[in-house]
Structure 1
Amino acid sequence: MKIEREITHLMHPRHKLRLEYTEIPYNCDGCKEAGIGYKYKCQQCGFNLHKVCAVGAPRITHPFYEKCEFKLYYYPPGKGKRVCDACRTYVHGFVYHCNSCDFDLHPCCANLPQVLDDGKHNLYLCNKLSSSCHSCGGKGLGWSYRSQCKTYNLHLSCVKEMLVESWQAIYFNVDKNKVRQMHTSIPSLKGSLQNRPGARGTVKKYGQMAGTAARAIISAILGDPTAIVAAVIGGIISK
Structure 2
Amino acid sequence: MKYNEISHFSHPQHKLTFEYTEVPFKCDGCKEVGIGSRYKCSNNNTCDYDLHIHCALPSPSLSHPFYTKCSFQFLPRPPGTTPRYCNACEKDITGFLYHCKACGFDLHPCCAKLPMVLNDGEVKLYLYRKVSTSCHRCGRKERNWSYRSNCKKYNLHVGCVKEMLVEYWHEIYFRGGGSGGIGGNERKLETRIPSLRGTLQTPHNRNRGKGKRCGQMAALAVQFVISAVLGDPTTLIAGVVGSLMSM
TM-score band, normalised by shorter chain: 0.7 to 0.9
Q: Unaligned stretches of 5+ in structure 2?
A: 176-181, 202-214
2:227 maps to amino acid: S
- After superposition, where does 1:195-234 map in structure 2 within 5 Å? 205-207=199-201, 208=215, 209-234=217-242
Query: Which residue in the other structure is 1:191 paired with?
Result: none
Q: Could you tell me how far 1:181 is from its partner in structure 2? A: 5.4
Aligned Cα root-mean-square deviation (Å): 2.6
**Closer, same or farther: CA 181–100 of 1 in aligned 2, 3 Å:** farther
- After superposition, where does 1:2-17 map in structure 2 within 5 Å? 2-17=1-16
In structure 2, the residue corresponding to 1:235 is in which secondary structure? helix
Kept after mapping to 2: 8 A contact 1:35/1:222: yes
Query: Scaled by the length of structure 1, what TM-score is found?
Result: 0.84
In structure 1, the residue corresponding to 2:20 is in which secondary structure? strand
**Closer, same or farther: CA 89–123 of 1 in aligned 2, 3 Å:** same
Name which of structure 1's ranges 32-41 and 127-136 shifts more when overlaid on structure 2: 127-136
- Cα deviation per residue 1:58-113 (whole Å; 9 max; x = unaligned)? 11111110000001111111111111011111001000010111111000000000
In 1: Cα distance, 2:61 partner to 2:79 partner: 15
Kept after mapping to 2: 8 A contact 1:118/1:215: no
Kept after mapping to 1: 8 A contact 2:72/2:98: yes
Residue identity over aligned pairs, in percent, reads 52
In 1: Cα distance, 2:21 partner to 2:13 partner: 23
Query: Scaled by the length of structure 2, what TM-score is found?
Result: 0.81
Q: Could you tell me how far 1:167 is from its partner in structure 2? A: 4.5
Q: Unaligned stretches of 5+ in structure 1?
A: 187-202
Q: Which residue among 149, 152, 155 is the counterpart of 1:153?
A: 155
Bigger relative contact order (CA 8 A; separation at least 6): 1
In 1: Cα distance, 2:185 partner to 2:37 partner: 20
In structure 1, the residue corresponding to 2:110 is in which secondary structure? helix
